[in-house]
Structure 1
Amino acid sequence: MKIYLDDERQTPQGWVRTYWPDEVIELLQAGGVEEVSLDHDLGDDQRGTGYDVILWIEEAVALHDFCPPVIHVHSANASAVEKMRAGVRSIRQLAQKHRQDHELKR
């Protein structure tokens, strides 16, 4: 499954549309998500932003050996994009470290 989080843009063909971070997180918890594409600004910061999904994935990888999907960022908010990309880099590093640790234990 491919998940597209956005409040305004048209959903690409083959992607599942979500509007809020909690929807994305619920799908991630259910499993089977191969890719996510995240917008940052979703129209109601009280309900969350795309960055909240990044934070959830990062914590799940660090604490629960969660295997992260491929993560794309498609926000027009330049400063948020940088923050989100930094989170994606951290997720990749954590996931790589977990893979290496598991290989060493074998």
Structure 2
Amino acid sequence: MNIYLDDLRDCPEGFTIARTMDEAITLFEQHEVDILSLDHDLGEDNEGNLLPDGYDFVKYFCENGLMAKKIYIHTDNGVGRANMYETLKGAQKRGFIHPDIEIFHYSITVNRYTGE
């Protein structure tokens, strides 16, 4: 399975969408993951509070030793991108996540938002 974690963008062909961190965690619990593509900003709740973001998911991924063959970061948030990338690479160097995971600081897909 390929997972696309993003609250607003269209899900690219060949991926399963996870709109929240909790949905992504559930997919990881139920499936083996080949490609993970990450957004940083994952929106707000009904009261305007920020929901857990892509960086929160990266920390969960590392703390729980999750596995994906490849991870791409498709966010437009430059600071979020750097934080997620450096956290993943650092966790890999320290042995928290598998050394064979390929980690990319760019997108594998075209970011699209049609509002549908």
Please classify the TM superposition score into its range, dividing by the shorter chain length.
0.7 to 0.9
* Bigger Cα Rg: 1
Partner residue, 2:80: 80
Listed as ranges, the gaps of 5+ residues in structure 1 are 97-106
Q: For 1:55, which of 59, 62, 79 is the aligned residue? A: 59
Structure with bigger RCO (C-alpha 8 Å, 6+ apart):
2
Distance 1:20 1:38 in 2: 11
Paired-residue identity, %: 32
CA RMSD of aligned residues (A): 1.8
Q: Deviations over 1:34-80 (max 9, x none)?
A: 1111101111264310111111110112xxxx4x2121111111111
Please identify which structure carries the higher helix content.
1
TM-score, normalised on structure 2? Answer: 0.71
TM-score, normalised on structure 1? Answer: 0.77
Q: Deviations over 1:2-51 (max 9, x none)?
A: 00011222211010011100110111122311111110111126431011
Please identify which structure carries the higher strand content.
2
Runs of 4+ in 1 over 3 A off after TM superposition: none
Q: Size of the alignment, in residue pairs?
A: 92
Matches within 5 A, 1:11-26: 11-26=11-26
